Amino acid sequence: MALTPDAPPVSVGVLREHGAGERRVALVPEVVGRLTREGLAVLVERGAGEAAFFPDAAYEAAGATLGDRTAVLAADVLACVHAPDAGLAPSLHRGQVVVGLLALGGHVEQAHALGSAGVVALDLALLPRTLSRAQSMDALTSQASVAGYRAAIVAAEAFGRFFPMMITAAGTAKPARVLVLGTGVAGLQAIGTARRLGAQVTGYDIRPSSADEVRSLGATFLQLTSTPEGAGEGGYARELTEDERAAQQAELAGHVAGFDVVITTAQVPGRRPPVLVTADTVAAMRPGSVVVDLGASDLGGNVEGSVPDERVVTPGGATVVGAGNLAAELPTAASSAYARNVAAVLRAVVRDGRLDADSDDEVVKAIRVPAPAPTAPPP
Ligand code: NAD
């Protein structure tokens, strides 16, 4: 990312995130230091890192310039966690680059606003994750790891007993029995964390390759007999048919009641999260049981009745935690990993001191969001 002599440095702006409960920041001081040494100018909105415990002074010490929102919005590149609000579109300029976990497919208003402002949107959610070169940019993985770790901590905190076996003068406590449904990036991290806390852990997934991964973490793999293997494209799961889903729910119901804690992380890219645990299954759990639904969203999650960002205690005494955005609850670790992902993307779009977001680089091409048709009406 060396500078072209006499060209002004490419500027990268870091905005303070405004989503409810969002405490992450797109760049952290350590990464800002590296980027400024590589020739970029970094502008940081005052207070942008505060909620993740990165004070303004640390950004300044790393070589960033602090400014108000208007000054930062003028940067050549805006690094964000989420897509900027549609209301900011008049402050953006043609050719400006916005990079983040934009998920514009699900945010039509923001997609239209960025498109009509002539902004080039680079969406980390579109990254081809199997390309080895893209792994340093893989924000879905870095944030899912944080969320999986946090899910086990949230479950342990909501649970009324110990996770590990405890032998004390007052008697012996049995270890908690934890079931993790969906053992991709987040699920494996939840398994590892629950194991480190001393729980007895079982994992389940429909991708056959996950069984060995679960066992390699010292957990037991739950093999269902009713559900066929569900490997889909690109290493992801496929969506089950209606009949397969019903059979899976029925068989899982028989297992779930035997666990103290259930953590669900199942996703199928581009689809609603599958319901794995029905309301009847939750009702059959013992009082004091805990369910953490990492897939909880406005579209519904893996657990019937879970509400994003809410903790519901059922009449039967089970606590259902609808965990919408757990990575934001560990903001320092999540932001540090995310910032390294963003920096890797910046290195792919700033070459020889010039911004080239239209490049033919296969990773940049894959994450560049096609501009919406100019005639498309706003929603
Ligand atoms: P994800 O968030 O899309 O899904 C989470 C898990 O839910 C997956 O393991 C999936 O199989 C499971 N699932 C979906 N429907 C289910 C159902 N009905 N019942 C039970 N489980 C169900 O996936 P992810 O965690 O992002 O990753 C999925 C796969 O991609 C993994 O194999 C992962 O190792 C792989 N991956 C590879 C790379 C890489 O090569 N660099 C990077 C990231 C992920």
Q: What is the chain's alpha carbon radius of gyration, rounded to the nearest angstrom?
A: 22
Residue-wise burial string across 352-370, b where 16 or more C-beta atoms lie within 10 A, e elsewhere = ebebebeeebebbeebbbe
Residue-level pLDDT at 184: 96
**Pocket around ligand 1 at a 6 A CB cut-off:** 129-130, 135, 138, 140-141, 144, 181-187, 205-207, 210, 235-237, 240, 265-269, 274, 276
Q: Which of 126, 204, 236 has the most ligand 1 atoms within 8 A of CB, as the residue to mutate?
A: 236
Closest to 124 in 3D by CA, of 109, 112, 108, 136: 136
Residue-level pLDDT at 5: 58
Q: How far is the CA of 237 from the centre of ligand 1 (A)?
A: 6
Question: How buried is residue 191: exposed, middle or buried, by Cβ count under 10 Å (0-12/13-18/19+)?
Answer: buried
Q: Which of 124, 135, 185, 214 has the most ligand 1 atoms within 8 A of CB, as the residue to mutate?
A: 185
Residue-level pLDDT at 1: 59
Closest to 115 in 3D by CA, of 128, 125, 124, 102: 102
Query: What CATH superfamily classification does 11-126+333-367 receive?
Result: NAD(P)-binding Rossmann-like Domain (3.40.50.720)
Residue-level pLDDT at 49: 98
How do residues 272-288 score in pLDDT, each as one tens digit? 899 999 999 999 999 99
Q: What angle do CA 237, 331, 41 make, to 5 degrees?
A: 105
Indicate which atom in ligand 1 lies nearest the CA of residue 183: 9
Where does the chain hold its CATH 3.40.50.720 domain(s)? Answer: 11-126+333-367, 144-329
Residue-level pLDDT at 129: 83
Q: How far is the CA of 184 from the centre of ligand 1 (A)?
A: 4
Q: Given CATH 3.30.460.10, say whether it is the number of domain 144-329.
A: no
Q: How far is the CA of 165 from the centre of ligand 1 (A)?
A: 31
Which pTM was predicted?
0.94
Q: What angle do CA 107, 108, 113 make, to 5 degrees?
A: 105
Closest to 21 in 3D by CA, of 306, 326, 298: 326
Residue-level pLDDT at 163: 98
Number of neighbours of residue 264 by Cβ within 10 angstroms: 30
Q: Which of 206, 226, 239, 294 has the most ligand 1 atoms within 8 A of CB, as the residue to mutate?
A: 206
Residue-level pLDDT at 4: 56
| Residue ranges in the chain whose pLDDT is less than 70 | 1-6, 372-379
Q: How far apart are CA 357 and CA 319, in angstroms?
A: 47
Q: How far apart are CA 342 and CA 100, in angstroms?
A: 7
